[in-house]
Structure formats: C-alpha cells, structure tokens
Structure 1
Amino acid sequence: MKYGMVYTIKIMILVTRCFSTHHHVHAVLFPYIVTCQKVIPFLSSNSVVSSSATATKNQTISFTVTVFTTPKNHPFISDFLLLHTPEIKVISLPFPENITRIPPGVESTDKLPSMSLYVPFTRATKLLQPFFEEALKNLPQVSFMVSDGFLWWTSESAAKFNIPRLVFYGINSYAVPY
C-alpha cells in the first residue's frame, strides 16, 4: 500500500539489523485507539513484519508479532489481522474506567461524544501503561516495538525494558506522496 511504504522501509531496516544478532524476531505493535478505519494504515504498514520466516546468510529468521489493544477494539483488530496474517497474537489491555468527562465504555476516539474530549482521552491512555508493562514482562524477548505517536508513554516503557522503538504517526500515512 502506498501510504505505508516509507514506514514499511524503516521497519525492514530495523528488522534487518535484528537479523545480525537474532534467529527470532519479536515485534510488538501498539496502534492508537481511534476509529477502526484509521488503525488500518498502522496494521497494513506493519504487515510486512509478520512474514513467518526469512532466510539470510543460510539462517532462517522467524517472526512473532504481538499487537496490543483494548477489549472493545479487540474484535476489529483480530478480524482484520485474521484476513491478512492469522499468526499474529492480539493482547487486550483493560481500558481505565471513571475517567473525568469520558463516558463509561468509551475505548476509542470515534465513540467520544465530542472531539473536545480528545485530549483527556489521549491522556487517559497513559493509565494503560502499568498493564502494558506487565504484559511486556511476560512476553518472550521483544526485538523492537512500533507504537503510535499519541501513545507517547510507550517510549518510557520501551526504555524501561531496553526495547528499540519506532513511532508511527498515522497522519503521515495520508501525507506520503504518491
């Protein structure tokens, strides 16, 4: 897909660097929880990572991909991935409750009653961090992470676990020249 080409190249460069020291590459993906349609560029541009194996210099490199989301977004992400790359694991993190001004049960920006709640919603995603870090602790060794720029706190988690992190800015998916 054209909109993910530049980003895909950056991912492949990072994956290639992992090849020199690992026989198994484990990528963690964490898209921002916006409208389902806006998650597609993130997941599509990263689908290249999900190839089950690649051979370089007479060695086989296997891939594991783990995608993080929330319970109400899990069905869409699972269904999308099942169509494209069924071997990807999806982990749901519990979305915080009782957030000031955010209605109960809202786990994505398309469900906000007003876009004036966008900033409080984005700030509330930081409350996912302890659950995210607990999940990272229990995963097999992670080679690198790709997370959305609006999930700024994932850089802290990546640093804490010494995981290289790439940032995905979905808005740039539409700005890449065709």
Structure 2
Amino acid sequence: MGSNPHRKLHVMFFPFMAYGHMIPTLDMAKLFSSRGAKSTILTTPLNSKILQKPIDTFKNLNPGLEIDIQIFDFPCVELGLPEGCENVDFFTSNNNDDRHYMTLKFFLSTRFFKDQLEKLLETTRPDCLIADMFFPWATEAAEKFNVPRLVFHGTGYFSLCSEYCIRVHNPQNTVASSCEPFVIPDLPGNIVITQAQIADRDDESEMGKFMIEVKESDVKSSGVIVNSFYELEPDYADF
C-alpha cells in the first residue's frame, strides 16, 4: 500500500479486556513485529499498565522492533460499571447472577469505543485492524475507512467447528432427554456430547442478541484469526 517500498506494514490489535484475550493478542503483536510490521495495541489505561512491562521487556530484547500501545478512554462509572472495572477479570462478586449481569453490561459498554476507534482509524489509516470477536461494531468502523478488519477468536478450531455444526444442524433437538448422547453431525472425529453440555442459546435475551451481532460481524469481516496452529488440530483446520 502506498509508494514507499520501505514503509512498514502497520497492524492494529484490539483485544477484549480480559487476560484470556489480551495474552494471545500480545503474543500476536510480538509475532507481527518480529516479521517487520509495526504493531499497535489498543486498550484502556489500567490494562495498558498490565501490557507495558512485557512489551518493554520484548523491545529491550529486540531493539528496533515496533510495538506500541494506544490508550482509549473507558469511563467505567459513567457507563454504569464499578470504578476501575476495565477488565472482566477485575470483577469480584461471587454471586453468579451479579457476575452475569456485570459481564453483559461490560460487553455492551465496550460500544463506547466505537467513536474513538473511528477517529484513530481516520487519522492513522493502518493496513489492518485485528479486533476481538466481542467488538462486533469494529467491522463497520473499519469499513468506513477501507481498513480490513480481521476477527480474533481467542479459541481454537475445534470449538469453532463444533459450535458451527451444532448451530447449523441442531442435533440436540433430536434426543429425548438432556443426558442422551448424540454425535455432532458433519464434525470430524465422531464427537459425542449431550444436550446438557451445550450452552443455552436464547436469541431473544440481551446476551443472545449480542452474540447474533458477533456472528454477523464475523461474516462481514475480512477474515478470522484463530488462536491455534495447523499441526495441533489439522482435521478441524481443514474443516
């Protein structure tokens, strides 16, 4: 892109604010940087402090490689979240109902980032945005400025393929009870599970509607990045 042959490819990474999403995103950013790209991780003030030390260590060991942090505002209290609640892993309640409510509120609150992301994409024009699956609005934001948006799934091929086959075929509806085993149709490996092992899907609930947005965003995006490698699960990568 552009006429400068020496210009570095610039990739932006936008992880969901949870350790299980931030750690593999940081690994990805390091990998891209080690291949000569400029990597920028987008996050909030408190999460930037978690990421800064490993980034500094990486840069000290690899002088000349570019990996930086761009901080977005996330006013927790204004968004109805506890003060300083910038990460799902900061939630302290042991009450499952409270935790479920706060988690849903947290998911929906991240839409606050959309305007900030659009302003940054407009001024920076990176070559690619790798944004977390839980940021479905990022596809539309990137599209405005012709920036390819890849969806990062923190999980591997097996779970994505299993979820897809269950969603398409609904095999759980063919058994007489929640504990009766069945084979997941089309999925390699003759995987047997029960209805009780499948997460409840209520498409009319707030979380259900949000997950529909996530799936639609996947389809409209430029592609998906999976937290895996071919040799670990070749049958599911091929599928």
Alignment of 1:22-61 (within 5 A): 23-35=7-19, 38-51=21-34, 53=36
Cα distance in structure 2, aligned partners of 1:27 and 1:76? 20
Q: Distance in 2 between matches of 1:78 and 1:174?
A: 32
Measure the CA separation in 1 of the matches of 2:22 and 2:158: 13
What is the aligned counterpart of 1:137 among 119, 122, 126? 122
Q: Is residue 70 of structure 2 the alignment partner of residue 91 of structure 1? A: yes
Gaps of 5+ in 1: 1-17, 54-62
Instruction: Tell me how far 1:83 sits from its aligned partner.
Output: 2.0
Shift of 1:173: 8.3
Aligned-pair identity (%): 27
How far did residue 38 of structure 1 move? 4.0
Looking at structure 1, the residues matched to 57 and 156 of structure 2 have their Cα atoms a distance apart, in angstroms, of 25
**Could you report, residue by residue, the CA deviation over 1:20-40 in whole angstroms, capped at 9, with x for unpaired residues?**
x964311011011013x5411
1:152 to 1:129, Cα distance in 2 relative to 1, 3 A: same
- Aligned pair partner of 2:112 in 116, 121, 127: 127
> Does the CA-based 8 Å contact 1:52-1:64 persist in structure 2?
no
> The residue matched to 1:151 in structure 2 has which SS?
coil
Higher strand proportion (structure 1 or 2): 1
Out of 47, 54, 58, the residue aligned to residue 73 of structure 1 is: 47
Q: Hey, what does 2:140 align to over in structure 1?
A: 156
The residue aligned with 1:169 is 153
The residue identity in structure 2 corresponding to 1:130 is D
Q: Normalized against structure 2, the TM-score is what?
A: 0.55
Counterparts of 1:172 and 1:83 in 2: how far apart (Å)? 28
CA apart distance, 1:42: 1.8
Gaps of 5+ in 2: 61-65, 94-98, 160-227, 234-239
Q: Deviations over 1:127-168 (max 9, x none)?
A: 0111122222232x3111111101111111111111011111
SS at match of 1:106: coil
TM-score, normalised with respect to structure 1: 0.72
SS of aligned partner of 1:95: coil
> In the aligned structure 1, how far is the partner of 2:21 from the partner of 2:54?
12
User: What's the offset of the Cα at 1:52?
Assistant: 6.2
**Contact map agreement 1:41 1:173 (CA 8 A) in 2:** no
User: Which entry has the higher C-alpha Rg, 1 or 2?
Assistant: 2
Looking at both structures, which has the greater relative contact order when contacts are Cα pairs under 8 Å and sequence separation is at least 6? Answer: 1
1:105 aligns with 2:89: no
Helix, strand or coil at the partner of 1:73: helix
* Rounded Cα–Cα distance in structure 2 between residues aligned with 1:113 and 1:171: 24
Whole-Å Cα distance in 2 between the matches of residues 174 and 85 of structure 1?
34
